[in-house]
């Protein structure tokens, strides 16, 4: 199968400050001393893909606006069964086979198929570098699936306390039941499940333990129609995908792919006959997808299959690795994973000690570099240093009696004698003076950490113009 792919590789991100800068945009952040974007490109490398790279697009237009900007490059033919149009986020690190996603999309003749992966669980062996956020609300994907877990029925993003995230994970909501009483006030302000949507679906499984991987297979003609007609849409995830999911239940799709007028479900279920049909379909929905339900009965009050479209989900197998680098916590976790349990993604050969030490690196007397560690080209460590579960970049100069644990140190960093670094990220060209202590910190590029200072849960960076705009 041939692929035309748009790789969305935006520049800066507030969630990643101070790691990103005008000199180091997000796609070039190092993951195991490789640019982040290289993992996305490697995922596509084995496929016959042609690329339309987004370039010189203003940051405020969003992902949907970026696609509009390159629309003249998009030529994928929906009619050709061998041709597939994909949109992939440049911050994705995964090994989910694209062929499987494409096959599912083609099998269902879907307008969109979204890759869903298990939501990441924050690592306990290190910190994202900030103050404790475990009890604070976070944004989670709320996904509604049909009983077969093939079709997307509902998508939303809401603020949920982390303790509620896994409570939501396996809740099943049946017809006319509401999400609010079972979840609590944390979701009430953000999430509503419309009754007519539940009525149409018959049964819906609500999940909050999935991550939207930002990898989508689209029917290009439908996507183009939506982008053209909905000029205010900025985000694929927040605008385009929810619109398509809603319209599969309420709208027809004409032969040219344009969504038509909404269906009034309340009128269609008014008759006793339709109510009887509805009860039958609800009872059978535990093993049948809702698309198959109304396809099986021409008298059903649901629209015929030829007058609707399908939004699908491909759920990655738990054995596959799938993560998005969209936060400092994710940056730390992915770096640890790629030199640890997901080492097959790194492309490096590991030593008998289960670490990666470049042949040009130099280690002093009684210095140890533990398993699941990486030491880059030309870096030097003094005597009696200890490195555990950490990545150290290229051409770093590290003195004696230095401890580095659960941390990422980028290129050209100088660390003086007696420093202690734990659960932290140190950007390129940083200088740590003697006996400086960092715990759960991020240090922006070029910053100087003064001698003897002790820093915990701090973000240390020089102000740059792009950060204040």
In this structure, the answer to whether residues 387 and 337 fall within a common structural domain is no
Dump pLDDT digits (tens) for 330-384: 999 999 999 999 999 998 999 999 999 999 999 999 999 999 999 999 999 999 9
Top-confidence residue, 101 or 283: 101
CATH number of residue 402's parent domain: 2.160.10.10
**Which sign does the torsion angle of CA 20, 22, 27, 31 carry?**
negative
β-pair type (172-174, 34-35): unpaired
CB 3 within 8 A of CB 98: yes
SS3 118: strand
Confirm whether 375 is domain-assigned.
yes
Tokens for 138, please give them: 């976070």
CB 321 within 8 Å of CB 92: no
Q: Do 42 and 154 belong together in one domain? A: yes
Confidence (pLDDT) at 104: 93
**Strand partners for 442:** 425, 459
H or E segment at 455? strand 454-456
pLDDT in tens, 54-65: 866 777 788 999
Same domain? For 316 and 424 the reply is no
pLDDT, greater one: 187 or 416: 416
d(CA 406, CA 348): 20
pLDDT, greater one: 93 or 201: 93
Same domain, 203 and 62: yes
Number of structural domains in the chain: 2
Q: Are residues 18 and 82 in the same domain?
A: yes
Q: Is 459 within 8 Å of 127 (Cβ atoms)?
A: no
Q: Are residues 341 and 356 both part of a single domain?
A: no
Query: What is the rounded average pLDDT of the residues 41-52?
Result: 71
359 and 247 both lie in a single domain: no
Question: Same structural domain for residues 334 and 354?
Answer: no
The answer to whether position 358 is within a domain reads: yes
Residue 452 domain flag: yes
**Would 171 be classed as within a structural domain?**
no
CB neighbours of residue 39 within 10 Å:
24
449 & 342 share domain: no
The model's pLDDT over 263-289, given as tens digits with 9 standing for 90+, comes to 333 333 333 334 333 333 334 344 456
| Contact present, 128 and 120 (Cβ < 8 Å) | no
- Tokens 């103050």 locate to 131
In this prediction, residue 314 carries a pLDDT of 97
Q: Residue 6 and residue 54: Cα distance in Å, rounded?
A: 7
Query: What tens digit of pLDDT does each residue of 177-225 get?
Result: 333 333 333 443 445 566 666 666 667 888 888 999 999 999 988 999 9
> Each residue of 139-168: pLDDT tens digit?
667 898 988 899 998 888 765 444 444 444
Q: Which of 292, 327, 347 is the last residue of a domain?
A: 347
> Quick one: what percent of the chain has pLDDT higher than 70?
69
* Same domain, residue pair 332 and 380: no
| Cβ pair 204, 146 in contact under 8 A | yes
Range of 315's domain? Answer: 1-123+138-163+195-251+307-347
Tell me, yes or no, whether 261 lies in a domain.
no
Only one residue has tokens 């980028």, namely 410
User: How big is the chain, counted in residues?
Assistant: 469
pLDDT for the residue numbered 286: 44
Contact by Cβ (8 Å): 412, 30:
no
51 & 151 share domain:
yes
The CATH number of the domain holding residue 214 is 3.90.550.10
Q: How confident is the model at residue 30 (pLDDT cuts 50, 70, 90)?
A: very high
Choosing from 296, 327, 347, the residue where a domain stops is: 347
Q: Looking at the structure, do residues 355 and 341 belong to the same domain, yes or no?
A: no
∠ at Cα 281 (310, 288), nearest 5°?
Answer: 55
Q: What is the mean pLDDT of residues 70-95?
A: 82
Give domain status of residue 77, yes or no. yes
State the chain's mean pLDDT as an integer. Answer: 78
**Is 291 part of a structural domain of the chain?**
no
Residue 277 lies in a domain: no
pTM: 0.81
Point out the domain boundary residue: 283, 316, 347. Answer: 347
Tokens representing 378 are 């030309």
Q: What pLDDT shows up at residue 313?
A: 96
Nearest C-alpha neighbor of 145 from the set 209, 189, 92, 94: 209
């Amino acid at each position: 199968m041939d692929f035309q792919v748009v790789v969305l590789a935006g520049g800066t991100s507030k969630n990643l400050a101070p790691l990103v800068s005008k000199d180091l945009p997000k796609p070039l952040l190092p993951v195991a001393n490789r640019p982040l974007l290289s993992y996305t490109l490697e995922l596509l490398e084995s496929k016959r893909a042609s690329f339309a790279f987004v370039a010189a697009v203003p940051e405020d237009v969003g992902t949907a606006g970026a696609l509009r900007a390159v629309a003249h490059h998009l030529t994928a033919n929906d009619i050709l069964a061998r041709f597939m149009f994909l949109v992939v986020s440049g911050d994705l690190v995964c090994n989910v086979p694209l062929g499987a996603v494409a096959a599912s999309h083609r099998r269902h003749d879907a307008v969109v198929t979204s890759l869903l992966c298990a939501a990441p669980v924050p690592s306990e062996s290190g910190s994202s570098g900030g103050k404790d956020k475990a009890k604070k609300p976070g944004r989670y994907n709320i996904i509604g699936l049909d009983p077969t877990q093939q079709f997307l029925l509902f998508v939303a993003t809401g603020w949920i306390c982390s303790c509620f995230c896994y409570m939501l994970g396996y809740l099943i909501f049946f017809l006319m039941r509401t999400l609010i009483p079972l979840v609590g006030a944390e979701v009430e302000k953000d999430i509503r499940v419309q009754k007519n949507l539940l009525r149409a679906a018959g049964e819906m499984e609500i999940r909050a333990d999935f991550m939207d991987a930002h990898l989508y297979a689209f029917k290009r003609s439908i996507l183009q129609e939506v982008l053209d007609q909905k000029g205010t849409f900025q985000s694929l995830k927040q605008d385009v995908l929810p619109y398509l999911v809603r319209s599969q239940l309420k709208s027809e799709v004409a032969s040219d792919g344009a969504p038509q007028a909404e269906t009034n479900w309340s009128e269609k279920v008014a008759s006793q006959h339709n109510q009887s049909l509805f009860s039958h379909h609800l009872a059978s929905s535990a093993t049948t997808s809702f698309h198959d339900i109304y396809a099986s009965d021409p008298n059903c009050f649901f629209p015929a299959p030829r007058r609707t479209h399908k939004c699908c989900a491909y759920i990655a197998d738990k054995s596959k690795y799938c993560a998005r680098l969209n936060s400092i916590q994710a940056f730390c976790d992915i770096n640890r994973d790629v030199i640890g349990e997901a080492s097959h993604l790194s492309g490096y050969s590991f030593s008998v000690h289960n670490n990666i030490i470049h042949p040009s690196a130099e280690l002093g007397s009684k210095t140890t570099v533990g398993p699941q560690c990486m030491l880059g080209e030309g870096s030097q460590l003094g005597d009696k240093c200890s490195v555990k579960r950490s990545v150290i970049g290229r051409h770093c100069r590290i003195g004696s009696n230095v401890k580095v644990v659960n941390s990422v140190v980028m290129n050209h960093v100088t660390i003086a004698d007696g420093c202690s670094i734990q659960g932290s990220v140190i950007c390129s060209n940083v200088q740590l003076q003697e006996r400086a202590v960092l715990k759960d910190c991020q240090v922006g590029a070029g910053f100087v950490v003064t001698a003897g200072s002790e820093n915990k849960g701090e973000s240390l960076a020089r102000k740059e113009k792009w950060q204040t705009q």
